[in-house]
Each structure stands twice: as C-alpha cells, then as structure tokens.
C-alpha cells in the first residue's frame, strides 16, 4: 500500500521528476540487499575453494585420507552454486519490479503532462525513452549494480588472501593488473559519453520513423517514399555509427583486463615455479595462489563489464529523468475525493463565460509567443446552441482548448457556471465538458470500447440512445460484429464521417453539461448533416452546445452566433441579424447559402479565362476526355504554376 501511495504521489507531480528513478530504487533496496548478501555468501564459498584445494593437495602429499577434503570441496561447490542461483533470481526479480514501477510512474506523468511542454517533445523519442531506456535502467540499477558489488567483493577478498599467501607474488600481480585497470577506467568514461550519444541518435531515428508512419498516406500520395527512406536511412546510419563506437569501447574494455590478468598469470607461474624449484615455496601454496588468481580473472572482467553496463544505464537514467521532469497539469481531483457530478448546469447562470481572455502559444526553445486570443469576451447560455464562426486562424479551436483546460489563459478568465475554471478540479471540468475534436480521434479497439471510453460503465440503454442520436444505428447494424467489431489504429475500418459520428456518440454518452463540437460535421454528407442538425436541437435542449462550423448551414438556426476575427470577437447575434449587419459573416455565409437579394456580398470581379491545353503527360490520353464539354475543357483560371 505504501508503494502504491508513493507512486501515486509521483504521478501526481508532488515529487520532483529528477527523483523518480532514485525513489523507485529506494523502494526495492530490501530485495536488492538480500540478493547482494546471497551473492556475497556465494563469494565466500568461492574464495574458500582454493584453500580447500590446497588442503586436498597437502593431504595427498602426506598420504592421508582424502574423504574429508573432498567432502569439504564438494560442499563449497554446492553452496556457491546455490547462493549464486538465489542471488541471480532475486536480483532479476528486483530488476523487473524496478522497470515496472519506473514505467508506471513515467506513463502517469506523460498522461498528465502539460500539453505545451508535451508538444515540444518528439513523440518517437518519448517512445524510445519509455520503452528502451527504461530497460537499460533496469540493467543499471539491478544487474550491473549487484554485479559491481559482488565482483568487487570477490576481487577484494581474493587480493587480501593472495597477500596473505605471498606478498611478493601479489605485488607482481598488482603491477600487471593496475596498468590494465587504469586503461579500463579511461575506456569506461569514454563509453558513457558515446552511450549517451547513441541513445540520443536512437531517439532521433525512432522519432522520424513515427513521423513518417503517422502520415503514411500523405507520404505515398506525395511519392515521397525514396526521400523519406533516404532521410530515415541517414538517421539509422548515424545511430549505427554511434552504436559501433559503443561496441568498440565495450570490446576494448574486457580485453584490456584480460591482457592484464593473463600477463599476471604468466609472470606468477614463471616466478612461482622458480621459487618452488629452489625450495622457497611449496607446490600447495603456489597452487592456491594460482587458483586465486584464476578466480580473480572472471570477477575483474565482470566488474568492468558491470562498469560498462552501468555507465550506459546512467545515460538512460538521465534521459528518463529528463522526461519525468515534464511539467504536469495542476488542479486534478485528489485521490479518493469525488469530483463534481456531471449533468445540466443551473439555468440562471451562463454555462461558459469569457472575460477579456488573452492567450499566446509558446513555441520552440526560445519560447517565442504567438498571440491567438486578444481580449475575447462573450457568454454561452446554459441551454441552447451557440455557434462560433470565423476565418482560419481566428482562434476558434484555441477557445475550446482553454475551456477544456488543455492550456491556461495568459490573461482574463474563463468561467464555468460562474466559477473560475482554473479553480475547479480538472476531473470536474472534463466531466462537465464534452469535446468532439476536429480530427475525429478514434482508437484501436472495438466500437463499444470507443463509445464507452469516457463512460466505461455506461448501460446498454445509454449506449443505444447515444448511437441513435448520432445517427450510427444503421452503420453499426452493417458491421460484422456490431458494437464488438474491432477497429484499427485511428479507427480504421470506418469512413471519416462514420468516425466523426462515433466520436459524437461517445461525447453524447458522457451526458456533458457543455458540449464542444470542433468542426464535428466536416465529414458528414448533406443527409447526415441534416439529421445531425436535428440531433443538435435535441441535445441543446438539455445542455449548452458550442459548435465551431465552417458550414454555416449546420448552425444557421443557432440561438447565438459569435463571429471571431484576428483573435477578437467581431460580432454576436443570430443568423438574420448578422447577415444584415456584419460583412465578414455575410461573406462567409454567402459562399455557402442561397440567400435572398441584398443578403449576399457582391460577387468578386471575374477571373480572366484563357484556353487551356493539357500538359504533355495528359495529352497522350486526351481522347479519353472527349465526353467533356468545350466549356469544361477550355475555360478555367490560369495559375502562375501553369504558365510553363
């Protein structure tokens, strides 16, 4: 329970992100210490074995019984194997627990990240840090760390015992091993640097792969496959070259120690045998010393392998901690505390109010500001349809993102039912406000999963009601498994209009007090749009509906229309009044509606027409266009690009 509370506190952002990996490590110190202690017992058993072999040789030289020395030796072998196995299992288990907790905390922080900060990150690099780098964290904090302690203890214990056996032979050994150790430490430092470069290069490669795959139809339609393949290939080659450097330093690390230990072994055998020949040392003592030296070789190699793994893991820890430092959204409902119930807002207060709201996006590392809203003020009644219209870039979608608290206003205030939206818990705001995005976000899973995403415990009656209101009944009836039909990534398996209606149904199922529709009818055909206008009328009797629409026909009967231009409210009113008094609205509406005399802006001056002949690529098959009328073929505007 304490571990869950600790993780919750980190996910909620109460701890600094830099402490997240270290905090997880402290959570599992008991298991790690247990594994290390078992490993040290195994080390003790291993270090006793050369002594036991020496006793066996002495007993054989005195023609004594070998039963007891052999039994001692076998017992030490078994004990060493048992302790080593237990140590490997416990350290491995601790490592899996560490990577689980790190990923859980990191995922929680990513899901609660501030969108401004999150948007500056490369999505592919985020994926690499969350999946690959966390695996390296596991290796660094469990396997390599334990290996460093256990191998280090073996080396220290062996060195002490070898000093006790013969000081001069040990000094000769240390001179050989010391030079190799200095070289290995220098290589380990270099390895850490190139390992960090390789992690960054791998993140760049993953980012570009994700960028291309997320827009694969555009890549194909633009015939950009060769260019993208070349670009990704260059990034892959960069990661390959830095990876080769990592392998090169890794490859040098072990041989540098092997050369030292092999040189020490050759010198010790030569000097020791000469001493035995002169009677200055007995064979049992030399055999014990050489056995300890043999035992020293593997732990030394493993120690420096552990150093290599640990420095690579430190690079991964640094990258994970950087990601964990992403600023978090504030004001969420504390754990165990219920958020405000959703449903209709009190009718006597406006559902949404904007009071002199200002907002600018911050882009790039220099935090350049791009003003979008410049003192917007208007109100939305608790019931009825309010439409927001205006040219592209006027700030319509940004207003919705402020209502959902994806971003915080730079100035002024946004109110929900008379309360400052910044003072309300996020769960309350997003329970009261339903949002249908412009790009109709659907996800992999069944149709039912997508429908109930915001309301996982919705009843069948509520689901059917939402499906019917969104005009999805006939669509679902034609699917192979109905509501249980599986959809692919981004809702593939449904058309654009069907995905849009699916997202509308999902929001209707939420039964919000305020419903935001960001171009929610852009992919609907005329019949579906007419049906959806009926849906809007029904829904707007129950809650506040705010709709952004380029199709004026969708919101022509809205109770209130807000016209935005250049980040400011230009005009408000109903359709008829705006057609009479606002030139921008009249121009926007006049391009779509067949309005009566005096209601449509004057037509623009005619564009000069010139005869058009097909470019050579089309002229070859021109007879296929014989069915086209002369007017269709010959009269069209001439663009600058076609003046070739």
Report d(CA 426, CA 484) in Å as an integer: 31
Average pLDDT score over residue span 318-342: 62
Whether 530 maps to a domain, the answer reads yes
Q: Which is it for strands 384-389 and 560-565: parallel, antiparallel or unpaired?
A: parallel
Whether 215 maps to a domain, the answer reads yes
Task: Indicate the burial class of 341 (C-beta count within 10 angstroms; 0-12, 13-18, 19 or more).
Answer: exposed
The whole-angstrom distance between residue 106's C-alpha and the CA centroid of its chain comes to 9
Partners of 349 in the beta sheet? none
Report d(CA 402, CA 505) in Å as an integer: 23
Are 414 and 402 a contacting pair, CB within 8 Å? yes
Whether residue 406 sits in one domain with residue 282? no
pLDDT at 488: 78
Report d(CA 539, CA 551) in Å as an integer: 19
pLDDT of 212 above 90: no
Residues near 455 by beta carbon (within 8 Å), at least 6 away in sequence:
462, 509, 510, 511
Whether residue 148 sits in one domain with residue 97? yes
Quick: pLDDT tens for 15-29.
444 356 777 788 888
- Closest to 600 in 3D by CA, of 612, 590, 615: 590
Whether 143 maps to a domain, the answer reads yes
Quick: pLDDT tens for 424-472.
888 888 888 988 877 666 778 888 888 888 888 888 888 988 888 877 8
Residues near 564 by beta carbon (within 8 Å), at least 6 away in sequence:
376, 388, 389, 390, 394, 395, 396, 399, 570
Read off the pLDDT band of 56 (50, 70, 90): confident
Are 530 and 547 a contacting pair, CB within 8 Å? no
Report d(CA 449, CA 124) in Å as an integer: 26
Q: What are the distances in angstroms from CA 236 to CA 123, 130, 199, 233, 242?
A: 17, 19, 12, 5, 10
Give the 3-state secondary structure of 320-332. Answer: HHHHHCCCECCCC
Whether 22 maps to a domain, the answer reads yes
Q: Provide the phi-psi class of 522: left if phi over 0, else alpha when psi is between -120 and 50, else beta.
A: alpha
Whether residue 637 sits in one domain with residue 535? no
Tell me what the pLDDT averaged over the chain comes to: 76
Q: What are the distances in angstroms from CA 396 to CA 387, 548, 560, 567?
A: 10, 7, 15, 8
Whether residue 303 sits in one domain with residue 444? no
pLDDT of 71 above 80: yes
Containing H/E element for 636? Answer: strand 636-637
Whether 427 maps to a domain, the answer reads yes
Whether residue 210 sits in one domain with residue 98? yes
Q: Provide the phi-psi class of 495: left if phi over 0, else alpha when psi is between -120 and 50, else beta.
A: beta
Are 558 and 572 a contacting pair, CB within 8 Å? no
Determine the 3-state secondary structure of 112 from DSSP.
coil
Gyration radius (Cα) of the chain, Å: 36
Q: Which two tokens stand for residue 542?
A: 């129950």
Whether 334 maps to a domain, the answer reads no
Average pLDDT score over residue span 305-330: 78
Q: Which two tokens stand for residue 584?
A: 């921008």
Number of domains in the chain: 3
Quick: pLDDT tens for 258-280.
677 777 777 777 888 888 888 77
Report d(CA 44, CA 376) in Å as an integer: 75
How many CA within 13 A on the CB side of residue 443? 9
- Closest to 150 in 3D by CA, of 29, 47, 258, 23: 47
Partners of 637 in the beta sheet? 609
* Domain boundary residue, one of 278, 308, 324: 324
Whether residue 362 sits in one domain with residue 307? no
Partners of 562 in the beta sheet? 388, 572
pLDDT at 633: 37
Whether residue 140 sits in one domain with residue 18? yes
Please give the torsion angle defined by the CA atoms of residues 402, 406, 411 and 413, in that order, rounded to the nearest 10 degrees.
50
pLDDT at 342: 46
pLDDT at 399: 92
Task: Indicate the burial class of 147 (C-beta count within 10 angstroms; 0-12, 13-18, 19 or more).
Answer: buried
Quick: pLDDT tens for 151-183.
888 888 878 888 888 888 888 777 777 777 777
Whether 174 maps to a domain, the answer reads yes
pLDDT at 313: 76
Are 272 and 281 a contacting pair, CB within 8 Å? yes
Whether 92 maps to a domain, the answer reads yes
Q: What are the distances in angstroms from CA 327 to CA 16, 118, 360, 527?
A: 10, 8, 18, 45
Other residues' Cβ atoms within 10 Å of the Cβ of residue 252: 17
Strands, E, within 394-493: which ranges?
411-416, 419-420, 433-436, 445-446, 486-487
**For residue 616, what are the domain limits?**
609-642
Report d(CA 446, CA 344) in Å as an integer: 30
Whether residue 172 sits in one domain with residue 67? yes
Q: What is the CATH number of the domain that holds 22?
A: 1.20.1560.10
Whether residue 250 sits in one domain with residue 181? yes
Determine the 3-state secondary structure of 626 from DSSP.
coil
Please give the torsion angle defined by the CA atoms of residues 279, 280, 282 and 288, in that order, rounded to the nearest 10 degrees.
-150
Whether residue 397 sits in one domain with residue 432? yes
pLDDT at 618: 38
At 329, phi and psi to the nearest 5? -65, 140
Whether residue 471 sits in one domain with residue 529? yes
Whether residue 242 sits in one domain with residue 124? yes
Q: Which is more confidently placed, 643 or 256? A: 256
Q: What is the CATH number of the domain that holds 583?
A: 3.40.50.300
């Amino acid at each position: 329970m304490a571990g869950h509370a600790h993780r919750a506190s980190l996910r909620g952002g109460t701890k600094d992100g830099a402490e997240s990996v270290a905090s997880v490590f402290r959570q599992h110190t008991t298991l790690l210490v247990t594994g290390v202690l078992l490993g040290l017992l195994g080390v003790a058993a291993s270090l006793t074995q050369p002594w036991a072999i020496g006793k066996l040789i002495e007993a054989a030289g005195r023609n004594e019984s070998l039963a007891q020395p052999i039994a001692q030796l076998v017992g030490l072998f078994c004990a060493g194997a048992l302790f080593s196995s237990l140590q490997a299992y416990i350290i491995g288990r601790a490592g899996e627990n560490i990577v689980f907790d790190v990923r859980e905390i990191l995922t929680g922080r990513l899901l609660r990240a501030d969108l401004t900060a999150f948007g500056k990150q490369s999505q592919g690099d985020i994926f690499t840090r969350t999946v690959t780098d966390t695996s390296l964290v596991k290796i660094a904090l469990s396997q390599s760390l334990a290996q460093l302690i256990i191998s280090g203890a073996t080396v220290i214990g062996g060195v002490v015992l070898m000093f006790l056996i013969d000081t001069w032979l040990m000094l000769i050994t240390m001179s050989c091993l010391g030079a190799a150790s200095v070289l290995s430490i220098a290589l380990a430092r270099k390895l850490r640097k190139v390992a960090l470069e390789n992690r960054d290069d791998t993140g760049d490669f993953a980012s570009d792969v994700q960028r291309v795959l997320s827009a694969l139809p555009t890549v194909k339609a633009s015939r950009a496959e060769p260019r993208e393949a070349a670009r990704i290939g260059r990034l892959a080659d960069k990661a390959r070259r830095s990876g080769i450097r990592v392998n090169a330093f890794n490859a040098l690390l072990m041989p540098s120690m092997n050369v030292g230990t092999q040189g020490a072994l050759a010198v010790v055998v030569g000097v020791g045998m000469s001493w035995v020949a002169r009677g200055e040392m007995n064979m049992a003592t030399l055999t014990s010393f050489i056995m300890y030296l043999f035992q020293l070789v593997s732990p030394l190699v493993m120690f420096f392998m552990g150093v290599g793994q640990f420095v690579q893991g430190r690079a991964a820890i640094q990258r994970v901690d950087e990601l964990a430092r992403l600023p978090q959204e504030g004001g969420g409902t504390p754990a165990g505390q219920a958020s405000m119930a959703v449903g209709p807002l009190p009718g006597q207060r406006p559902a949404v109010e904007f009071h002199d709201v200002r907002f600018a996006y911050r882009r790039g590392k220099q935090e350049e500001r791009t003003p979008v809203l410049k003192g917007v003020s208007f109100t939305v009644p608790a019931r009825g349809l309010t439409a927001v219209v205006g040219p592209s870039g006027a700030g319509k979608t940004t207003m919705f993102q402020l209502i959902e608290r994806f971003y915080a206003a730079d100035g002024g205030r946004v109110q929900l039912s008379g309360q400052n939206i910044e003072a309300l818990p996020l769960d309350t705001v997003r329970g009261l406000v339903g949002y249908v995005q412009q790009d109709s976000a659907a996800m992999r899973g069944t149709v039912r999963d997508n429908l109930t995403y915001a309301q996982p415990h919705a009843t069948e009656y509520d689901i059917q009601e939402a499906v019917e209101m969104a005009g999805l009944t006939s669509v679902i009836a034609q699917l192979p498994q109905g509501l249980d039909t599986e959809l692919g990534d981004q809702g593939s398996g449904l058309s654009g209009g069907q995905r849009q209606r699916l997202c509308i149904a999902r929001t209707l199922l939420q039964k919000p007090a305020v419903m935001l529709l960001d171009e929610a009818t852009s992919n609907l055909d005329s019949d579906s749009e007419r049906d959806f206008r009926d849906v809007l009328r029904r829904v707007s009797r129950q809650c506040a509906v705010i709709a952004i629409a380029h199709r004026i026909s969708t919101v022509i009967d809205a109770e209130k229309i807000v016209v935005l231009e250049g980040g400011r409210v230009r005009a408000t009113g109903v359709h008829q009044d705006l057609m009479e008094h606002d030139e921008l609205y009249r121009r926007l509406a006049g391009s779509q509606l067949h309005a009566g005399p005096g209601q449509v802006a004057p037509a623009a001056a005619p564009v000069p027409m010139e005869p058009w002949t097909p470019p050579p690529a089309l002229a070859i098959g021109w007879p296929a266009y014989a069915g086209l009328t002369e007017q269709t073929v010959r009269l069209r505007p001439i663009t600058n690009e076609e003046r070739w």
